Structure 1
């Protein structure tokens, strides 16, 4: 029996060693193939780079830029990705899109049907970067797939927003009501005003995440035309929606009548006091200065911090902070005044 066990153990050991050797050989060969592949791609990039640069900057096209193999397509794709991240001119970006559409549309169309999640996602990123509206129908078609990851769905919707896809409003308000505020915001930020107005009109029927996203996008874009909507939202809502509306107003930095908002400096909610302080700082309302000075003594650090920042936005803000530092008996107010006096020094 011991001899049999020893024999079996020896056979298993040899088998495992053989498997490890085979695996090592496979990985070595695979690595060598990958290195060779990468070297070829880099050589193609050296050839294509000046030609693509000339195409994008001057509009002159060379027949040598027509890819004839997957490696050549990969080289062109990598170069276009690099240029897409640095191009600022509208004409150059348009040329990049036209070139990518001419040579990569069919390739990406096949890649979108890949069973590999990573392949599909990378393809979506490239379609996005290159603004390839030629693949609009293919991208939209993906939304009808049964098995679609959350990451894929959100990126598909972001691309549809980039292409100003008209049915997107119905999709977001009827089919995808379960998305997060973060998801909605990254989609809506790409929509142009005419279509975004649909979401503003739909605001009071929307779920809270979509409402917050709409307000956040207005904050980011600082679009004055939405002031009546924002002010109405402040007076018609409470809680998070009211706070987001106040934030949007502060970011826009303009109101016709500041008086309705001055009382918010004395709100029982610290969030409202903080955002009111931000609004006063944006508008530089002199008569609200006593309220800002009082907020330097607030129990909330966030309110004190915003009050200090807002006071700094006034022409005589530094002088006021020095006076607080010299005369106040409140340690927290003195600390905040000192902090803003020495910021950037």
Structure 2
């Protein structure tokens, strides 16, 4: 982005298309969310070039360095690409610039309307994207200063997770396969394969793919045992993609320490409760993936499941660099008593992001002690933005 050279004051539609094709593929490879905003003046036919230049200059002054402003070939529409941003951020941006334009007299000749398209799929053609938004903005039924939305590309693709079961006992192997095939985790699809020994697993080459890979294996196996496989996987360049559960009949501290020191994520002593295994996979390990977008998907899935059995896995997301993760953990805390979550929600209530602050206040106020907690916060806090948010949500709850 920083290497783009502008030959004019603003990039043109045909110049942006080649960059869009690269970003589009990044939606899948890097799990990058793109949101594009299109703007049009409500009275395009009556505007001269000076006013259009004024719109261009105004938009250039309000976007971030990571955003890309361009003009459509007809000269009457502008587009802005927001990389790594959702429709929520784009909508907040539009509301902010609309408020400025309506308030300042020097912009009195300008009246805009806008459309938003969030892109979470690579199944989108640039020309089609342009035409759908131009059509959305062409109708007289869309009011000045209104924001429409094109939702054709916002469906989140499913993340494939490879699952390998390495177990020599045929009956138990089938039980595990059946259990894992029945697990439903929103936004994830499990591809389950079984192996009776370590050698057949390594011969399959299935573990060499770039997908996140859950390994559920016994410590003692024919040909290649579990510890040997563990050593091989943890010495691969992309070893962090593996989530490794080791099963064992040895209930000793020494065996468990040896496994953990070798790099397992979970050491499970046989016999164990299959429902507990399912819960661990659903509610914990997907949250420890290195890719932020996968973490956010996992949080969304856990919020929809709505059963939170422990807090430790979620606390780190309170300070995540991704505001979407902080937003989702504020939602998830609805499912946990306020006694355990209030200190974290109070921190989120003072977040720099408006949506996170709003969700934290909404989660607090849902508790029967929520109004009182917000009132205490209002009286003791020095954060004016957080105080205003707490006052607004409390008043809304009380019906004022």
Q: Of Structure 1 and Structure 2, which has the larger fraction of its residues in helix?
A: 1
TM-score, scaled to structure 2: 0.31
Q: Of Structure 1 and Structure 2, which has the larger fraction of its residues in strand?
A: 2
For CA contacts below 8 A with separation 6 or more, give which structure has more relative contact order: 2
Q: Who wins on radius of gyration, i.e. which is larger?
A: 1
